[in-house]
Chains A and B, each alone.
Chain A
Amino acid sequence: MTQKVRLVHYLNQFFAGIGGEEKADLPPAEREGALGPGIGLKAALGQKGEVVATVICGDGYFNENLAEASKTVVKMIAKHKPDLVVAGPAFNAGRYGVACGAVAKVVLEEIGIPTVSGMFAENPGVDLYRKFAYIVETGNSAASMRQALPKIAKLALKLGRKEEMGPAEAEGYLQRGVRQNIFVAKRGSERALDMLAAKLNKRPFETEYPLPTFDRVEPAPAVEAVKQSKIALVTSGGIVPKGNPDRIESSSATKYGRYNLAGVDDLSAASYETAHGGYDPTYANQDSDRVLPVDVLRQLEAEGEIGQLHSYFYSTTGNGTSVANAAAFAAEIAGELVNEGVHAVILTST
């Protein structure tokens, strides 16, 4: 019998069963064998592979200490001499996705072994780290765990046995932006004409080289002097008047709020809180200025260091919120800000 593929599983504090956001500051830790989703992964691997250890790190800790956490995690992983690493799946959890991707990168660079992960296509971890991992596309929540694990296991076994890996669509991972030379029966000119004919006849065809889409916005010109400028505050950190009057969702937001700051010099615990469900709310609830710095902007306004603080702030929750929704909110917000004579924006994120 061939040897079992050895893998180390990387999990965040939540999927390891240690705790929610209040435990997001957990430094790297390790456990023998499989844990949490690792149990399902183990079942999907069957007799062909095993989860030899699980390395865990809090999402907050990892993201705030990217370099140091990567170093510690890779050491913990290397000890077990695995054939590969499975990280996540992270679904649409942004910080978890970034952590999984960063683990893949450091594992490839330091140990030279591959990583399989699973993420929702909009997870920022995909764009940042697609080159370093084989990322299976998942749904946006852990509800799709059961569909994700067999796909991850399949890729893991293939990579662990060093079998040849085919292109993204065929193997079921998100494109990594890696080009591979292959032999095909038809030469390039024929294939190009086939494609053109299909396009002209409105038949489906698949490009062999998708052009990268860069949706970049040119930096707007700097303001001449903030002393004469009207500055607006916008946040994806979910700061809202106490009680969350607009019922902005704690994740996957479908709306944003616009709140009056007239006469507000300080965001007190009695009047403001966060609606965000993606980070430990303790500190923002004690003092929302920690996320939305109204107090110091009022001070700077009084000192004449800024022209004016715009009398409304805008807020939504950035976790799990679709890019389409966030873009639509921001386009509306920006339109209002321009109409109201705002010159520049401070946007805070958690």
Chain B
Amino acid sequence: MVKEIERKGLPVVHLCTVVPISLTVGANRIVPTVAIPYPLGDPALGPEKEKELRLKLVKQALQALETPVQEQTVFSRD
């Protein structure tokens, strides 16, 4: 899906937990996430901290969209 959207010229950032799969499907901007059933959350953190974590990941995704890349790039979680 990532590839077909990008083929139309739209930059896509792929937020996913299993990075190797994202690499084989051909995503070019990849931000690794938390866990398969809750990529953008963590039920153990409680609602406030969880939303902070999500905000951080989404901000990272937005940054990836602003970053020119020449090849598949994994933006590591900091």
Residues of A within 8 A of B10 (CB): 220, 334, 337-338, 342-345
**Nearest chain A residue, comparing its CB with the CB of B61:** A346
Separation of A289 and B36 alpha carbons in the complex (Å) = 14
Chain B stretch 57-78: residues in CB contact (< 8 A) with chain A: 57-59, 61-62, 65-73
Whether B12 lies near A347 (C-beta < 8 A) is yes
Separation of A337 and B5 alpha carbons in the complex (Å) = 9
Interface residues of B toward A: which range?
35 or more
Whether B7 lies near A331 (C-beta < 8 A) is yes
- Label chain B's interface by main secondary structure: mixed
Residues of A within 8 A of B18 (CB): 63-64, 94-95, 98, 349
Separation of A346 and B27 alpha carbons in the complex (Å) = 11
Residues of B within 8 A of A289 (CB): 40-41, 54
Residues of chain A at interface, number, CB under 8 A: 70
Question: Contacts A124-B21, A279-B37, A283-B41: A349 and B16 contacting too (C-beta < 8 A)?
Answer: yes
Is A128's CB within 8 Å of the partner chain B? yes
Residues of A within 8 A of B17 (CB): 63-64, 349-350
CB 8 Å contact bits of A310-350 with B (1 = contact, 0 = none): 00000010100000001101110111011000111111111
Would you mind naming 18 contact pairs between A and B with Cβ atoms under 8 Å apart?
A95-B36, A98-B21, A128-B21, A218-B6, A234-B1, A279-B37, A283-B43, A289-B41, A290-B41, A293-B58, A327-B3, A330-B3, A333-B5, A344-B10, A344-B13, A346-B15, A346-B65, A349-B39
Whether A215 lies near B38 (C-beta < 8 A) is no
Separation of A152 and B70 alpha carbons in the complex (Å) = 41
Residues of A within 8 A of B15 (CB): 346-349
**Closest beta carbon of chain A to B36's beta carbon, Å:** 5
**Nearest chain B residue, comparing its CB with the CB of A282:** B37
**Closest beta carbon of chain A to B20's beta carbon, Å:** 6
Of the residues B20, B54, B71, contact of A296 by C-beta under 8 Å: B54
